[in-house]
Chain A
C-alpha cells in the first residue's frame, strides 16, 4: 500500500511538474489592452474569423480582404468616404481612351515593395499572368476576363501572355486593353483580384502555382501596402505594423493593427466591454435595439452592399408557377422583418440590387399586399391555400437565419393559409442541397464585389454557377451580356435596369432586405467612416482621446 501511495504521489508530482513546465513555456507576452493600444497607435480590430489565406489571388472573403488590403495596395485604392470614387494607390495618374476600353496607368516613382524593390509595371504583368494562367486556381480570376484575350489565355486558346491586354509600356507605365468599353473599370480595380504580388518572393517559395502559400508567412511576405506582416498566430491574432517603405507613410498615423479572429460574437462583445478591443465585427442581434438606446456612441450601423434573399426552386411545382412566387413575395411584410426580427436597421428590399450605386435607379417593385397575394394564390389554383403541398424551407444552422425563417413561415401561414416545414442543415450539407436544387425554398445572401449593379445581376444568367434556382430567361441573358459591353454608363444602367425588372416580374427569388454592418466602435478610433463595401483605407485611420 505504501508503495502504491508513493507511486501515486510521484506520478502526481511528475504531472504537476509537467504542467508547470508547459505553463511557463506556453506563456508569451500579453497583448495590449485598448487604453495602452491607443497610446501606442495600435488598432485592435475584431475580424470575425481566421483568414484562410493571405494571398490576394487565392482569397475569397471579406475577412481576408480586411487584412490583405493593409498589406498590399492596388493601382486604385479605397476612398475614405465614398466607394464610387477612385483614390490613387500605386497609380498616381491614369487616362482612358474615348470609349473607356483602353486604360493607361502611371505608377508612382516612390512606390516600393517592403523589401525595397521598386513597384513596376512588370510586377502587374507578372501578377495578372499568375492569375489568368490556365493552371491558376484563383477563384476570382474571372474578374480579369475584362482584359482582352484574358479568357482565351486562361482557356489555353491563346498561348502567349503577350497577347493578353496588359502591357508594361515602360518601367512605370502600364496599359490595359479591355474586351469592351468599361466605364466602371476603376471601381473594379479596387478588388483584391487586381492587386499585384511580388514575383521574386513567389518564385523563391515554390513558384507561381505553388499551393502551400509559404510566401504568405510572416518571415517571407513581401507587400507594397501601408503595413507589413509582423506576426501570424493562428486562432489568436495577426499583427501588421507600419511599413517603412510605403509611399504615403507620412500620412499614416497607425503604428500597428491586431486582427483578432473571434468567431463568437458574444466573446467579441465581452472583449469590447472589458477594454480589449476597439472595433467588433458584429453585435449579437437581440442586443442591438437595447444598445441603440443605452450606448448610442458605441454602436454603429452602416449600410452594406449586400442582399438577404430566399431562392425558389422553380423546377419543382408549385414553385414553377410565377403566380405562386409573386404571392409569396407579396405576403412578406419586409418592414416588420427588419424592424422586429433582423433588428439591425437593414433596409427592406424593394428590389434585388441594393440602392447606393451612383446613377442606378433602383426599381421600387416589391411591396406588402396580403390581399393581392391571396388573389394570386387563388388564381394559381390554391384559394386560401387549399390543396397547397407542404413545402420545406431550408436554411443553414444559425440563430439569425432561424429567426427570420420562422417569422417568414409564420407570415405565409397567416396571410396565405399555407403550412411549411422548417429544415436546418449543417453548412456544407446545405450548400450541397442548394447547388443540386435539392430544396423547395432556401435562404441566401449575396455581397457585392465592386461598385456596379452587375455584380448582383450576373448570377441569375442561365448556367451561372451561382444561379441555383433553375430559373432561366433568354432576354435576361441577352441584357446582361449587352451590359458587359455597353459604351456609356447610361446605356449600361439601361440594360441592367431592364434585366432587373424581368427578375422582379418572374421572381425566382424573394429579396428580404439589404444588409447593414453593425459593430461597436471605441469613440477614440477616428476617421472610421461608413463604407458600402466595408473597405477602409487604413492610412487615414488614427486613434486619439
Chain B
C-alpha cells in the first residue's frame, strides 16, 4: 500500500506540473489582459505596468520565471488586488474549507440514510417520497435555492443573517444551500449502488440463511453499495472544498470560489494559476483518497490494480 501511495504521489506531481503548464499558456492566449477596462489606460502606462510585472518578456522566459518562483513557494503578486496571491489564498481557502466541511457533513448525513432506506424499502412510500424530495433538490440549482433560503429564513423569518460570514449562525444557510444539492445527488447514487448489491446472489443466500436484516445491510451491502458514492465523492470533494462561486456571491462569503471565477474573468494570470494549483492539489489528493478507500472496501482489488 505504501508503495502504491508513493507511486501515486509521484504521478500526482507530474499531473500538477502538466496542469500548471497548460493553464499558464491557456490564460495567456485568452483575449484581453489584466489591465483592459472600459476606460482605456494610456498605452505607455500599460507598457509600464507590463514591464513591472514582467509581462513584456517572451512567454517562455515568463514561464521559466514563474516556475522558479513557484519552487520557492511564491505564487506572485495579484494584478487586480493589493494583496499577493499567497495572501489571498491564505485568507480565502480556510473559509471555503470550513463551508465545504459543513456542506459535506450535511450532504452525507442526509444523503446516505435516505439513499439506503430508499433502496431497502424499494418501491414503497419510504422509497418514493424521499427520492422525490431528492429530485427537487437536484432540480433546484444553487442560484435558486440560495435566494429562496435567504428570503425565507433571513428576510421573512429573521432567523439568520441574509449574508455575511461573521458569527457561527452565518454558516447555516450557505452550508445548507450547497449541502442539500449534494445530499440529493448522494441519495440517488447511494440508492442505485445499494440496489445493485441487494440483487446479488450472496445477499439472497444470506437472506435465505436467515441472517438478520440489519446485519445483512451493514455487513454485506454497505461496502459494495457505497462504491459509486465514493467514486462520485472524489471530484465532488474537491469541488465542495474549493468553494462555490454562486453561493459565496449570494451570501457574501470571502471564500476561494469567488477568487477562482473572478480571477478568470479579470485575467489575473497569477491568481488564476494560484487557485488552479491549489484546486489541482485538492482534486488529486481527493482522487487518491477515493482510490485507497475503494480498495479497502473491495478487498478483491489489490493496490497494484488501481
Do A and B come into direct contact in the complex, CB within 8 Å?
yes
Chain A interfacial positions (CB closer than 8 Å to B)? 1, 4, 15-16, 18-19, 22-23, 26-31, 50, 52-54, 60, 135-139, 141-142, 211-214, 216-217, 233-236, 260, 262-264, 266-267, 270-271, 273-274, 276, 426-429, 431-433, 435, 444-445, 465-466, 468
Closest 5 CB pairs of A and B: A428-B32, A235-B254, A213-B82, A465-B40, A270-B162
Contact A465/B98 with A4-B296, A30-B166 known, Cβ cut-off 8 Å: no
**Do the beta carbons of A139 and B163 come within 8 Å of each other?**
no
B265 CB–A CB distance under 8 Å = yes
Contact A431/B94 with A53-B82, A54-B82, A274-B154 known, Cβ cut-off 8 Å: no
Q: Closest residue of chain A to B84, judged by CB?
A: A212
Contact check: which of A16, A432, A468 meets B32 at CB < 8 Å? A432
What string of 1s and 0s marks CB contacts (under 8 Å) between B109-144 and chain A?
000000000000000000000000000000000000
What string of 1s and 0s marks CB contacts (under 8 Å) between B154-181 and chain A?
1100100111111110010000000000
Contact A60/B37 with A19-B101, A19-B102, A234-B83 known, Cβ cut-off 8 Å: yes
| Residue numbers in B under 8 Å from A212 (CB-CB) | 77, 82, 84
**Do the beta carbons of A270 and B150 come within 8 Å of each other?**
yes
Contact A52/B80 with A432-B31, A465-B42 known, Cβ cut-off 8 Å: yes
Contact check: which of B36, B158, B219, B258 meets A1 at CB < 8 Å? B219
Contact A428/B82 with A23-B98, A262-B252, A465-B42 known, Cβ cut-off 8 Å: no
B97 CB–A CB distance under 8 Å = yes
**Do the beta carbons of B42 and A139 come within 8 Å of each other?**
yes
Question: Which candidate, B7-15, B45-53, B191-199, B275-283, is the interface stretch facing chain A?
Answer: B45-53
Contact A270/B101 with A26-B94, A27-B166, A236-B165 known, Cβ cut-off 8 Å: no
Contact check: which of B37, B101, B158, B162 meets A431 at CB < 8 Å? B37
**Do the beta carbons of A137 and B83 come within 8 Å of each other?**
no
| Residue numbers in B under 8 Å from A276 (CB-CB) | 161-164
- CB B288 to nearest CB in A, in angstroms, measures 15
- CB A396 to nearest CB in B, in angstroms, measures 9
B286 CB–A CB distance under 8 Å = no
How many angstroms from the CA of A435 to the CA of B40 in the assembled complex?
9
| Residue numbers in A under 8 Å from B252 (CB-CB) | 235-236, 260, 262, 264, 267, 271
Majority secondary structure, A binding face:
loop
Kindly identify, within residues 65 to 96 of chain B, every residue whose CB is under 8 Å from any CB belonging to chain A: 77, 80-84, 88, 91-92, 94-95
How many angstroms from the CA of A426 to the CA of B31 in the assembled complex?
10
- CB B148 to nearest CB in A, in angstroms, measures 11
| Residue numbers in B under 8 Å from A136 (CB-CB) | 45, 48
**Do the beta carbons of A31 and B95 come within 8 Å of each other?**
no
Q: Closest residue of chain A to B154, judged by CB?
A: A274
Q: Closest residue of chain B to A261, judged by CB?
A: B252
Other A-B pairs, 17, CB within 8 Å; known A19-B105, A234-B88 = A28-B166, A30-B166, A137-B49, A138-B45, A211-B49, A217-B82, A233-B254, A236-B164, A236-B254, A262-B252, A267-B249, A270-B150, A270-B155, A270-B163, A428-B31, A431-B36, A433-B31
List 22 contacting pairs A-B, 8 Å CB cutoff, sorted by A.
Answer: A4-B296, A15-B101, A19-B102, A22-B101, A28-B166, A52-B81, A233-B254, A234-B88, A236-B165, A236-B254, A263-B249, A266-B250, A267-B150, A270-B151, A270-B155, A270-B162, A274-B155, A428-B267, A431-B36, A431-B37, A432-B36, A435-B36
B43 CB–A CB distance under 8 Å = yes
What string of 1s and 0s marks CB contacts (under 8 Å) between B33-63 and chain A?
1001111111101001100100000000000
How many angstroms from the CA of A4 to the CA of B165 in the assembled complex?
37
**Do the beta carbons of A31 and B166 come within 8 Å of each other?**
yes
**Do the beta carbons of A27 and B42 come within 8 Å of each other?**
no
Contact A431/B38 with A4-B296, A27-B167, A212-B82 known, Cβ cut-off 8 Å: yes
Contact A139/B45 with A19-B98, A23-B98 known, Cβ cut-off 8 Å: yes
Q: Closest residue of chain A to B88, judged by CB?
A: A234
**Do the beta carbons of B43 and A465 come within 8 Å of each other?**
yes
How many angstroms from the CA of A271 to the CA of B267 in the assembled complex?
30
Contact A429/B31 with A137-B52, A236-B254, A267-B163 known, Cβ cut-off 8 Å: yes
| Residue numbers in B under 8 Å from A1 (CB-CB) | 219
B251 CB–A CB distance under 8 Å = yes
**Do the beta carbons of A428 and B154 come within 8 Å of each other?**
no
**Do the beta carbons of B101 and A60 come within 8 Å of each other?**
no
- CB B259 to nearest CB in A, in angstroms, measures 9
| Residue numbers in A under 8 Å from B219 (CB-CB) | 1
Q: Closest residue of chain B to A1, judged by CB?
A: B219
Q: Closest residue of chain A to B160, judged by CB?
A: A274
B239 CB–A CB distance under 8 Å = no
How many angstroms from the CA of A274 to the CA of B149 in the assembled complex?
13
| Residue numbers in B under 8 Å from A445 (CB-CB) | 38
How many angstroms from the CA of A457 to the CA of B130 in the assembled complex?
64
| Residue numbers in A under 8 Å from B40 (CB-CB) | 435, 465-466, 468
How many angstroms from the CA of A142 to the CA of B154 in the assembled complex?
47
How many angstroms from the CA of A54 to the CA of B82 in the assembled complex?
9
| Residue numbers in A under 8 Å from B52 (CB-CB) | 137, 211
How many angstroms from the CA of A270 to the CA of B249 in the assembled complex?
13
B147 CB–A CB distance under 8 Å = yes
Kindly identify, within residues 259 to 285 of chain B, every residue whose CB is under 8 Å from any CB belonging to chain A: 265-267
| Residue numbers in B under 8 Å from A214 (CB-CB) | 82
Contact A267/B162 with A142-B42, A235-B258, A236-B254 known, Cβ cut-off 8 Å: yes
Contact check: which of B39, B91, B92 meets A466 at CB < 8 Å? B39
Q: Closest residue of chain B to A433, judged by CB?
A: B31
**Do the beta carbons of A427 and B265 come within 8 Å of each other?**
yes
| Residue numbers in B under 8 Å from A431 (CB-CB) | 32, 36-38
| Residue numbers in A under 8 Å from B97 (CB-CB) | 22
| Residue numbers in A under 8 Å from B92 (CB-CB) | 235
How many angstroms from the CA of A235 to the CA of B87 in the assembled complex?
13
**Do the beta carbons of A264 and B82 come within 8 Å of each other?**
no
Q: Closest residue of chain B to A212, judged by CB?
A: B77
| Residue numbers in B under 8 Å from A266 (CB-CB) | 147, 250
Q: Closest residue of chain A to B161, judged by CB?
A: A276
Contact check: which of A26, A60, A137, A432 meets B98 at CB < 8 Å? A26
